[in-house]
Amino acid sequence: MNNSSTTAANGWNPLSHPIVFAEPRYLPHSAWLEHIPFAMYAVDVLKPRSIVELGTHAGASYCAFCQAVADLRLSTQCFAIDSWEGDPHAGDYDPDVLGKLRAHHDPQYGGFSRLIQSTFDEALPHFADGSIDLLHVDGYHTYKAVKHDFDSWRPKMSDRGVVLLHDINVRERDFGVHTFWEEIRVQYPSFEFWHCHGLGVLAVGTTIPDEFQTLLQFQDEDEAAARTRYFFFNLGRRHQLLERQEQMRRHIGQLCKDVAKSTEAVHEAQRTISHLQRLVEQREKEVRAAEMWARSIVHSRSYRVGSPLRFFGNLIKRFSAKRSL
């Protein structure tokens, strides 16, 4: 039996989970978007009683979990934990990111989900040991930070526990999730996605649904593993492209507004130029009229008759001025 028929025999068929084709209702800019179909698939198969996310930022991943919970009508409690202050890897942070997320999240998911503004460590004591079924770790990505987050939250995982780790395939700057992943993946049943910075799937609990276990049993070299990666990458890529398209639409909208503003400024300048040209023409007419008037005076008979008198008068004025010195 080849790997794909083994997969079918074991009941692993993502097509039997139509939620993987759902359109995300919230698509903020994020390096996570291509994992949305798998996130929704995982929620459908695992039917977790609780989901906790460490690192939510704009909410791309978290809203995918919440949307799946809502659309599948599951009785899942969800918690997003983030300081919403950013970290050295999070890049430029929109100060209103939490406000925007709340505006989308609260009315739709407020009935079963909470956004907790706190550090991961401060939130830790508020969760009982063995109480979390699905944990997504996506905080600061140095080796030390991700190991600390995993180790401190590991006791909170239930016997159905599955942990997702983002960025296991980033090999630049001081990202160290890939190093931590190499250590941890051999300690539990696991599967890794390589696209979209990599997503590690780790079953830390022992009571995992058969279908999900099938995925975790794929070997890297299996055709089934390649097909699974191909399937989820291509589904997720759609979301990434849609978000980029939306970004470009906003950019084009802004450029159109800028062009309209510049066009209005050009029209205003043209109106000013026309006004000034009319003023110049008016002045030229006035100057021509004054010249004609002056010329008519110079050539008039009385002006010419008075010319010797003006000459002697000027001489006398100059003579008397010298004498008074």
Ligand X SMILES: C[S@@+](CC[C@H](N)C(=O)[O-])C[C@H]1O[C@@H](n2cnc3c(N)ncnc32)[C@H](O)[C@@H]1O
Q: Alpha-carbon distance 157 to 250, whole Å? A: 42
> For residues 100 and 227, which CB has a smaller minimum distance to ligand X in the complex?
100
> For residues 140 and 233, which CB has a smaller minimum distance to ligand X in the complex?
140
| CB of residue 129 to ligand X, shortest distance in Å | 20
Residue 119 in contact with ligand X, rule: CB under 6 A: yes
Tokens read off for 289 = 């009229």
The site for ligand X, by CB under 6 A, has a size of 20
| CB of residue 106 to ligand X, shortest distance in Å | 18
CA angle 261, 264, 268 (to 5 degrees): 140
> For residues 57 and 239, which CB has a smaller minimum distance to ligand X in the complex?
57
Contacts of 72 (CB under 8 A, 6+ apart): 19, 43, 44, 47
Contacts of 269 (CB under 8 A, 6+ apart): none
| CB of residue 22 to ligand X, shortest distance in Å | 16
Contacts of 119 (CB under 8 A, 6+ apart): 83
| CB of residue 36 to ligand X, shortest distance in Å | 9
Q: Where are the beta strands (DSSP E) in 66-206?
A: 77-82, 113-117, 132-137, 157-166, 190-193, 199-203
Residues β-bridged to residue 118: none
> For residues 140 and 191, which CB has a smaller minimum distance to ligand X in the complex?
140
Among 23, 85, 182, 264, binds ligand X (CB under 6 A): 85
> For residues 39 and 74, which CB has a smaller minimum distance to ligand X in the complex?
39
Contacts of 156 (CB under 8 A, 6+ apart): 52, 124, 127, 128, 129, 130, 131, 132, 135
| CB of residue 19 to ligand X, shortest distance in Å | 18
Task: Tell me the window of 40-48, 78-86, 224-232, 308-316 that interacts with ligand X (CB under 6 A).
Answer: 78-86
Among 83, 108, 179, 217, binds ligand X (CB under 6 A): 83
CA angle 243, 167, 221 (to 5 degrees): 105
> For residues 170 and 227, which CB has a smaller minimum distance to ligand X in the complex?
170
Q: Alpha-carbon distance 22 to 18, whole Å? A: 7
Q: Alpha-carbon distance 299 to 304, whole Å? A: 7
Query: Which residue, 23, 29, 113, 104, is CA-closest to 76?
Result: 113
Residue 224 in contact with ligand X, rule: CB under 6 A: no
Binding mask 28-67 for ligand X (x = CB under 6 A): --x-x----------------------xxxx-xx------
Task: Tell me the window of 86-94, 124-132, 151-159, 295-303 that interacts with ligand X (CB under 6 A).
Answer: 86-94
Binding mask 129-168 for ligand X (x = CB under 6 A): ---------xxx----------------------------
Radius of gyration of the chain (CA): 39
Residue 86 in contact with ligand X, rule: CB under 6 A: yes
Q: For the chain, percent helix, then strand, then coil, each to nearest 5?
A: 60, 15, 30
Residue 90 in contact with ligand X, rule: CB under 6 A: yes
Q: Alpha-carbon distance 53 to 164, whole Å? A: 9
> For residues 36 and 215, which CB has a smaller minimum distance to ligand X in the complex?
36
Residue 117 in contact with ligand X, rule: CB under 6 A: no
Residue 240 in contact with ligand X, rule: CB under 6 A: no
Sites of contact with ligand X (CB under 6 A):
30, 32, 55-58, 60-61, 82-87, 90, 119-120, 138-140
